[in-house]
């Protein structure tokens, strides 16, 4: 866990983004607060540079990190895996003419979430 904390502290140096204690407290899960903070920082970074309003920006801004948990790895029970849960309300601008989530939008969200 010390190595994870050190990496989180290093990340904070090159990702100088202000995250409030309330924002961290609103993320459920059993992960330590520094890992929850790292997850929140990552999603802020995904939104791009200040002034950036490129492809998918409006949709990505609505994604909320709701849980960060540590669990035994499925592949190796002696290792720990991190699970991050995000939520997003599907709105009409994300849907096709039939009112179903557009596949391109879904792919864009999955691509961003896997990083």
pLDDT per residue as tens, the chain (115 positions): 666 666 666 655 655 677 889 999 999 999 999 999 988 888 777 766 667 777 777 888 888 999 999 999 989 989 999 999 999 999 999 999 999 999 998 888 887 655 5
Predicted TM-score (pTM) of the model is 0.73
pLDDT at 55: 75
Contact residues for 45 (Cβ-Cβ < 8 A; gap 6+) = 15, 17
Q: Which two tokens stand for residue 15?
A: 């990702």
What would the pLDDT profile of 40-52 be if each residue is shown by its tens digit? 888 777 766 667 7
Q: What is the pLDDT of residue 95?
A: 94
> What pLDDT is recorded for position 91?
94
Structural domain harbouring 91? 2-113
Buried b / exposed e over 75-105, threshold 16 CB at 10 Å, is eeeeeeeeebeeeeeeeeebeeeeeeeeeeb
Instruction: Give me the number of domains the chain comprises.
Output: 1
Tell me the Cα Rg of the chain. Answer: 16
């Amino acid at each position: 866990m010390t190595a994870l904390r050190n990496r989180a502290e290093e990340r904070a140096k090159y990702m100088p983004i202000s995250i409030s204690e309330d924002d961290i407290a609103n993320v459920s899960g059993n992960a330590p607060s520094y890992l929850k903070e790292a997850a929140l920082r990552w999603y802020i970074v995904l939104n791009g540079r200040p002034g950036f309003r490129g492809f998918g920006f409006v949709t990505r801004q609505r994604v909320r990190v709701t849980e960060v948990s540590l669990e035994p790895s499925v592949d190796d029970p002696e290792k720990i895996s991190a699970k991050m849960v995000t939520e997003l309300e599907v709105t009409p601008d994300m849907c096709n003419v039939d009112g179903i989530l557009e596949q391109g939008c879904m792919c864009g969200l999955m691509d961003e979430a896997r990083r």
